[in-house]
Amino acid sequence: MGEKIVLVGAGYSGILTAKKLAKKFKHNGDISITIIDRNPYHTMLTELHEVAANRVDEESIRISLNKVFAGRKVQVCLDTVTSIDFNNKTVIGNAKKYTYDYVVLCAGSKPTYFGIPGAEEHTFKLWSYEDAVKLKDHIHAMFRKAASETDPEERKKLLTFFIVGAGFTGVEMAGELAEYAPILCRNFEIDQEDITIHNVDMLPRTITNLPEKLSDKVERRMEKMGIKVGLNTGVVKIGEDFVETKQNGVINSFGTYTVIWAAGIESADVTLEAAKNIQSAGRGRISVDPYLRSLDYENVYVVGDNMFYIPGGEEKPVPQIVENSEHSGDTAAHNIACAVTGQGQMESYKPSFHGFMVSIGGRYGVARVGFPNAMINLPSWLAMFSKHFINIIYFIQVLGWNKVFSYMRHEFFTIRNCRSFVGGHFSNRTPSFLLVPLRVWLGAVWLFEGVMKIMQGWLTEPKLAGFYGGAQGWYDSIVNGEATDAISSATGSGAGEGAAAAGDAVNQVGTVIFNFDFLGLIRAVFVSGKELTDSTLSDLAFKLDIPFMNWFIDIFILPNDGVQIAMQAFIVIAEILIGLALIGGLFTFPAAGFSLILQFMFVTTTGLYLTTFWMIFASIAVLIGAGRTFGMDYYVMPALKGAWRKIPLIRKSYLYHD
- Mean pLDDT value of segment 597-608: 93
What sign does the dihedral 302-305-307-310 (CA atoms) show?
positive
Give yes or no for residue 609 having a pLDDT over 70: yes
The pLDDT confidence band at residue 221, using thresholds 50, 70 and 90, is: very high
List domains and CATH numbers for the chain: 4-110+267-350 (3.50.50.100), 119-263 (3.50.50.100), 435-639 (no CATH)
Res. 162: pLDDT tops 90: yes
In this prediction, residues 300-314 reach a mean pLDDT of 94
423-427, 464-468, 480-484: segment of lowest average pLDDT: 480-484
CA distance 582 to 585: 5
Choice between 217 and 509, residue whose per-residue pLDDT is larger: 217
**Residues 30-78: tens digit of each pLDDT:** 999 999 999 999 999 999 999 999 999 999 999 999 999 999 999 999 9
Task: Please determine, for residue 109, whether its predicted confidence score (pLDDT) is greater than 80.
Answer: yes
Residue 572 has pLDDT above 50, yes or no: yes
Residue 5 scores a pLDDT above 70: yes
Q: What is the pLDDT of residues 396-451, one digit of tens each?
A: 999 999 999 999 989 988 888 888 988 878 776 667 888 999 999 999 999 999 99
**Mean pLDDT (whole number) for 590-609:** 94
pLDDT at 213 exceeding the cut of 90? yes
pLDDT for residue 427: 79
Backbone CA torsion sign across 618, 620, 621, 622: positive
- Mean pLDDT, rounded, for 361-383: 92
Question: What pLDDT is attached to residue 280?
Answer: 95
Confidence at residue 490, expressed as pLDDT on a 0 to 100 scale:
35
Q: How confident is the model at residue 342 (pLDDT cuts 50, 70, 90)?
A: very high
Mean pLDDT of all residues in 534-557: 91
Contacts of 89 (CB under 8 A, 6+ apart): 99, 100, 101, 103, 299
Query: 6 vs 3, 32, 545, CA distance in Å?
Result: 10, 8, 61
Distance, C-alpha 594 to centroid of its chain: 27
CA dist 68 and 58 (Å) reads 18
Per-residue three-class SS string for 164-181: ECCCHHHHHHHHHHHHHH
Full DSSP string of 305-356: GGEE---TT-SSPPPSSHHHHHHHHHHHHHHHHHHHH--S----------EE
129-133, 135-139, 434-438: range with lowest mean pLDDT? 434-438
Q: What's the pLDDT score for residue 493?
A: 40
Q: What are phi and psi of 511, to 5 degrees?
A: -130, 135
- For residue range 69-102, list pLDDT tens digits in order: 999 999 999 999 999 999 999 999 999 999 999 9
- The pLDDT, as a whole number, for residue 425 is 80
Could you tell me if 614 and 622 are in contact, meaning their C-beta atoms sit under 8 angstroms apart?
A: no
Q: Which residue has the higher pLDDT, 78 or 547?
A: 78
| Whether the predicted pLDDT of 504 surpasses 70 | no
Query: In 10 A of CB 319, how many CB atoms?
Result: 13
Q: How many CB atoms lie within 10 A of CB 521?
A: 9
- The predicted structure's pLDDT at residue 255: 97
Local confidence band at 125 (pLDDT 50, 70, 90 cut-offs): very high
Q: How far is CA 16 from CA 48, 332, 398, 560, in A?
A: 20, 10, 7, 56
Which three-class secondary structure string do you get for 486-497? Answer: HHHHCCCCCCCC
Quick one: what percent of the chain has pLDDT higher than 70? 95
The answer to whether residue 491 scores a pLDDT higher than 50 is: no
Strands (DSSP E) found in 492-556: 511-518, 522-528, 540-545
Residue 482 has pLDDT above 70, yes or no: no
The pLDDT of residue 58 is: 92
Residue type at 485 in one-letter notation: D
Mean pLDDT rounded to a whole number for the chain: 92
Contact residues for 1 (Cβ-Cβ < 8 A; gap 6+): 30
pLDDT at 632 over 60: yes
Type of residue at 646: K
CA 345, 351, 354: angle at the middle one, nearest 5?
145
pLDDT number for residue 507: 45
Strand-pair partners of 374: 371
Q: What does the alpha-carbon distance between residue 443 and residue 434 come to, in Å, rounded to a whole number?
A: 15
pLDDT at 358: 95
pLDDT-above-90 percentage for the chain: 82
pLDDT, tens digit, 9 for 90 and up, residues 234-273: 999 999 999 999 999 999 999 999 999 999 999 999 999 9
**pLDDT value, residue 101:** 97
Whether residue 508 is predicted with pLDDT greater than 80 in this model: the reply is no
